[in-house]
Structures are given as structure tokens and as C-alpha cells.
Amino acid sequence: MTNQEIANVFDKVAFFLSLKDENEFKVSAYVKAAKSIRELPLAIEDMLLAGEDLTKIEGIGKILAQKVEDLVIIGSLKILDELLFEFPDSLFEMSQIKGIGPKTIFKIFDTHKIKSLVELKQFLQSGEKLAIATPYECRIKEFFKI
């Protein structure tokens, strides 16, 4: 797995933990680790296979080092699998909309059962109104150029 792929998995975990309103420190640990992994000049997989101590990387503690190892060796993360049992994976793509955070995305999902960007665009094009604050709806419409 590349650094980018591992960082993307950590970003997804952070996003879905935010949807659950999980402990902010836990969410921020995944975000920080993803950023550090993305910025590494070396492949973290090579470092792991060479027996290097991943906890020396900024933002990677013992638990997250184990998660990197799980990703490299097993190819998946138990925590992400559990989160994807609760939420559709397609919700993550909504995080592309600038200025719309996990709480707003969850409200859209919970209230309207909208699970993807495609469904969100169709909903707005039908003329229906989202049950969120107007500035957020404006940002979403701007994203879709509606």
C-alpha cells in the first residue's frame, strides 16, 4: 500500500468517527497521522518491512503504528470495517464539498437518507430544500453549480 492509500484510509476513519461524534482527540489523531504519512519522503510500507520503528514518525503512536501494520499486512482496518457497517462508504465523497463538515453531512444523511453526491445533486435539482442552514445549502449548490 502506498503512503497516499494509507493516509486516505486514516482520513476516512477520522471522517466516520466524526459522524459518530467520537472523541475529538481520537479523530484528530487519525487526521494528524494521515498528514504525516502523506508527507513522508519514504514509503511507510518499506519502513515497516525493514523493521523501522513507525512510532518515530510524528503523529504515529503505538496504536496507529499497529493500524499501519494491519493495513500493510491484512489490507484492511477493523475499525473502518465497523464504521462502514454503520454508514455507507459513499458519504465520504460528500466531504469534498468545501465548508461542509461531518455534522452537516450526517444531518443530510439522517434527515433525507441521502448517501452520495449523486443523490444530493438529484435532490437539489428536484427543487426540494435541505433541512440545514441556508449558508450550507448555498455552498452545496455552488459546488454543483446549481
pTM: 0.88
Task: Give the containing element (helix H, strand E) for 137.
Answer: helix 134-144
Domain limit, last residue, from 34, 65, 85: 85
- Cα separation of 79 and 85, whole Å? 10
pLDDT in tens, 99-109: 898 989 999 99
**Helix axis angle, 117-125 to 134-144, nearest 10°:** 100
Whether 81 and 93 map to the same domain: the answer is no
pLDDT in tens, 23-77: 899 999 999 999 999 999 999 999 999 999 999 999 999 999 999 999 999 999 9
Domain limit, last residue, from 85, 102, 125: 85
Q: What is the structure's pLDDT at 18? A: 94
Q: What is the CATH number of the domain that holds 26?
A: 1.10.150.110
- Cα separation of 75 and 52, whole Å? 19
Q: Which residue range(s) make up the domain with 30?
A: 3-85
Total domain count, the chain: 2
> What cell numbers appear for 71 in the block?
493495513
Give the chain's largest Cα–Cα span. 57
